[in-house]
Amino acid sequence: MVERRRSQWSGAVTKNIAILVTASFITAAGFSAANLLLPYYIMALLGILKTLPEKLASINASRVALDVGGLVTAFMAARAFIAAASGWMSDRFGRKPMIVAGLGLYTLSQLAYYFSTSLWEIYLVRIVQGVASAMTWPVAEALIMDSVPPAVRTRAMSLYVISFNLGNIVGPLLGSAAYALAKEILGPGAGVVDVFRYPFLLLALVAAATFLLSPLVREPGGLHGHGGVGRGFRGGLRELPVAVRRALAGFYMNALVNGVAVGIVSSVMIIYIIEFIAKTPEKVGVLMALPALFGVAVGYPAARKLDHLGDEVARKRVLIGAMAASRTLLMIVGYIRSAAAFVVVAAALNALMNIMLPLIRSIEGGLVPPRLRGRVFGLHQGFFNIGMAFGPLLGAWIYQHYHDKVILPGVTGVEATFLLAGALGLAALPLIAIYYQPVAVQRAWAQASGDPGAAH
């Protein structure tokens, strides 16, 4: 059995996996570097930040919470509209064209930040980045699932998620290094806006590397343009067994609610760190990188154990347990005021996310035949992004409007933001627990006409 698993995995270490994992790392590094710099850039453009942050005793970053939340909403709304369509197009016309086009658009969008001189221009660039992300992320996930055998799917997806998280580790450090380099090149007399604008030239060069890699992608033949793919977006999905459709519905509704929950904190997390934990880009970068590094260290060993576990019922229990633990931890983040405590809690959250994300994709990919995976992953991203489009504005509004107001004993708008996000995530757990029944899915495929193995 051990030798069989080794041979399956060795056959799965293909050029596709290496290219997609590398592209994921580079893209995430550039994107998270931009996320670090944008709040400062916005404050500089709006005249809130008139001198470099290291020269200030404190920064009232809550004044741009709604603006940062609006950027997340713009990005996710664009993804929500495009993700499902791009998944269907990749099923119909192939994964590679979508990936190449998406990475090209992403490269141009990073360069466009440098030329942005107003807040509305930054919003426009963020929308374009959302479109680019929707064209690549779910399609790349589907291509990874197409390229590897079932026995190593969780590990393959774990490598993809790990590469993304490694990019998130390097990204804040890259952003802070680009900021330091801009200060050095421009000199002490440079304006604050220019100091935060110039780093995006470097980020555009980093993004260009992903576009240059993308033409090397290859995809397995015989997956597209047949078997229901050509009958429109819903073609093939309607013919899935009822138990499979119920399971997908549970995952999609859970993704929608969790999109709202994640969106609530995504728009305020960096604002919260700047206000209560660390104020300079260099220190914020380190605080964001350390927890992500721990999550990466945990991700692949956990995925290996989950692949070897085999029992889908047991894998479901692990998924629900990890989700419950992560949402519970999220609820206490707003009460943290020290760097050490933040790193510990954030590290645990990152570890749980590195377990959950590849496991979800592995389960979803195993529910349907390869020719439908683009749509399945695209729909998942679409539902999650709808929630993410709404959540950031809600979180930013609560954080900014109730920032210093006591809502309940011991709860201001700062704590309420994280409490609400965690509570929503916990409330969504029954959607998977009830609607995804592994035994019923296996029985349904066994009774369906055709080869049950087509779902794998």
How confident is the model at residue 36, as a pLDDT? 86
In a domain, 360, yes or no: yes
Name 36's Cβ contacts closer than 8 Å, sequence gap at least 6. Answer: 171, 172, 175, 176, 270, 281, 284, 285, 288
Closest by CA to 381, choosing from 154, 138, 140, 146, is: 138
Alpha-carbon distance of 22 to 208, in angstroms, equals: 13
How crowded is residue 369: how many other Cβ atoms within 10 Å of its Cβ?
18
| Tokens, residue 114 | 């440098």
Alpha-carbon distance of 206 to 285, in angstroms, equals: 18
In a domain, 7, yes or no: no
What is the pTM (predicted TM-score) of this model? 0.77
In a domain, 408, yes or no: yes
- For tokens 């692990």, the residue is 318
In a domain, 5, yes or no: no
Beta bridge partners of 411: 408
In a domain, 223, yes or no: no
What is the identity of the amino acid at 90? S
Alpha-carbon distance of 379 to 262, in angstroms, equals: 18
Domain count for the chain: 1
In a domain, 222, yes or no: no
Roughly how many angstroms between the first and final C-alpha of the chain, as a whole number?
19
| CA dihedral over 397, 401, 404, 405, signed as positive or negative | negative
3-class secondary structure per residue, 359-381: HHHHHHHHHCCHHHHHHHHHHHH
**What are residue 381's phi and psi, to 5 degrees?**
-65, -40
- CA dihedral in degrees (71, 163, 381, 113; nearest 10)? 20
- CA dihedral in degrees (284, 289, 290, 295; nearest 10)? 140
Closest by CA to 243, choosing from 431, 432, 437, 448, is: 437
CATH of the domain at 265: 1.20.1250.20
Vertex 36, ends 347 and 57: CA angle to 5°?
A: 95
How confident is the model at residue 449, as a pLDDT? 53
In a domain, 220, yes or no: no
DSSP state of 267: T
In a domain, 71, yes or no: yes
Alpha-carbon distance of 204 to 216, in angstroms, equals: 20
Alpha-carbon distance of 358 to 163, in angstroms, equals: 12
| Tokens, residue 285 | 């970068």
Query: Is the CB of residue 22 less than 8 Å from the CB of residue 149?
Result: no
Show the domain range for 48: 12-214+232-448
Query: Is the CB of residue 73 less than 8 Å from the CB of residue 260?
Result: no
R_g over Cα of the chain: 22
| Mean per-residue pLDDT pooled into runs of 10, the chain (456 residues) | 43 70 89 88 88 80 80 83 81 86 92 92 93 87 81 81 83 87 86 89 89 83 46 63 93 95 87 86 80 85 81 91 96 93 93 90 86 84 87 88 90 94 96 94 77 46
